[in-house]
Amino acid sequence: MSHIAYINGLYEPNKNALINIEDRGLQFSDGVYEVIYVWNETPVDYGAHIERLSRSLNELNIPAPMSWRSLTVIIKEVIRRNYLRQGIIYIQISRGVASRTHGYSREMEPSLVVTAKFTAPPSEEIVKKGVKVLSTPDIRWARRDIKSISLLPNIIAKQSALDVKAFESVFYKSDGSVTEASASNVWIVDKDKTLITHPTSRDILGGVTRATILKLARDAGYRISEHSFTLQNMHVADEVFLTGTTTFVMPVVQVDKHTIANGYPGECALELRDRYIQYIKDVDPVMAWNV
Ligand code: PDD
């Protein structure tokens, strides 16, 4: 079955959905995006994704292409036309189309693309074994809090991980502190079972899954500390795990050559993953759309 995309006012099969060659998203990566998980035709943490999208647009002075209510109508329609029961919705907004020059007019009309993809989270089989991650220098720009479509360092990092059969690359700064991974946030569990993750700042993307896991972990009585940690701290941690829209909660059992604890997925990661899956299943199909 051909996928149906929304592009600037039209619903088209993906192969016919064409972007203007002078779209600034294409020429300058001048745009932002969101990836939202869909379960039973219902989005997960929709309000938080729309809030982050709105913030990303504001930070870059890109106007919203329409009201959030209208965007919601389009997203529902893309889900409906694709019969998307389980997968992701990708939303991309670029500054729009103009003859190529670095500066831009504030009057430009932004371009909006919404696509659907059938995909499942990592399988139980992978989760049961846990994954390996690679460390890599964080060479990204200084505004990682903006969900910009400019992702070259992220894709290079991800591919170097895949090339050595690792699941993700974890970024570290020149002072040795770990920021996040190429498409997920990073957590460690220390010896006294405190969950530690980098605080939200311009250094990381404030993950929507990260925020939900913080809430679920607090409700479950975990001690939590939002502060930065080093690669060395990861090596000696009791547990390491990743969170993200497409990752859910993924236990990490190896960082470069270092085996984490006994080399098996940790119990906190597995418990939080179960709680997260339950949280997704419990989403109310009507309330889920509230922005
Ligand atoms: N990426 N950090 C980075 C750099 C990311 O790209 C992502 C998500 C996250 C996790 O954020 P969230 O929990 O909101 O998905 C953290 C998406 C999935 C992507 O680029 O495909």
* Antiparallel, parallel or unpaired: β 31-39 and 258-259: unpaired
Residues paired with 172 in a beta bridge: 137, 178
Indicate the DSSP class of residue 237.
Answer: -
Per-residue pLDDT of the chain (291 residues; tens, 9 = 90+): 679 999 999 999 999 999 999 999 999 999 999 999 999 999 999 999 999 999 999 999 999 999 999 999 999 999 999 999 999 999 999 999 999 999 999 999 999 999 999 999 999 999 999 999 999 999 999 999 999 999 999 999 999 999 999 999 999 999 999 999 999 999 999 999 999 999 999 999 999 999 999 999 999 999 999 999 999 999 999 999 999 999 999 999 999 999 999 999 999 999 999 999 999 999 999 999 999
Mapped onto helix, strand or coil, the DSSP state of residue 275 is helix
Largest distance between two CA atoms of the chain = 58
The domains of the chain, with CATH numbers, are 4-119 (3.30.470.10), 124-280 (3.20.10.10)
Nearest to 153 by CA among 162, 163, 142, 140: 140
Mutate to test the pocket of ligand 1, among 52, 117, 158, 245 (most ligand atoms within 8 A of CB): 245
Q: Which residue, judged by its Cα, is nearest atom 5 of ligand 1?
A: 183
Indicate the DSSP class of residue 148.
Answer: B
Could you tell me the two tokens for 32?
């932002």
Task: Identify whether the C-beta of residue 97 lies closer than 8 Å to the C-beta of residue 25.
Answer: no
Which ligand 1 atom sits nearest the alpha carbon of residue 144?
4
Which ligand 1 atom sits nearest the alpha carbon of residue 182?
4
How far apart CA 279 and CA 150 sit, in angstroms, is 31
Q: DSSP characters for 35-96?
A: EEEEETTEESSHHHHHHHHHHHHHHTTPPPSS-HHHHHHHHHHHHHHTT-SEEEEEEEEE--
Which residues are CB-contacts of 163 (< 8 A; sequence separation ≥ 6)?
none
Indicate the DSSP class of residue 109.
Answer: P
How far apart CA 77 and CA 71 sit, in angstroms, is 10
What is the value of pTM for the model shown?
0.98
* Residues with catalytic function: 147
Pocket of ligand 1 (CB under 6 A): 35, 154, 180, 183-185, 205, 207-210, 243-246
Task: Identify whether the C-beta of residue 43 lies closer than 8 Å to the C-beta of residue 156.
Answer: no
Q: Report the separation in Å between the CA atom of 36 and the middle of ligand 1, taken as the mean of its atom positions.
A: 10
Q: How many residues does the chain have?
A: 291
Nearest to 84 by CA among 130, 120, 137: 120
Mutate to test the pocket of ligand 1, among 46, 180, 205, 242 (most ligand atoms within 8 A of CB): 205
Q: Which residue, judged by its Cα, is nearest atom 4 of ligand 1?
A: 183
How far apart CA 118 and CA 249 sit, in angstroms, is 19
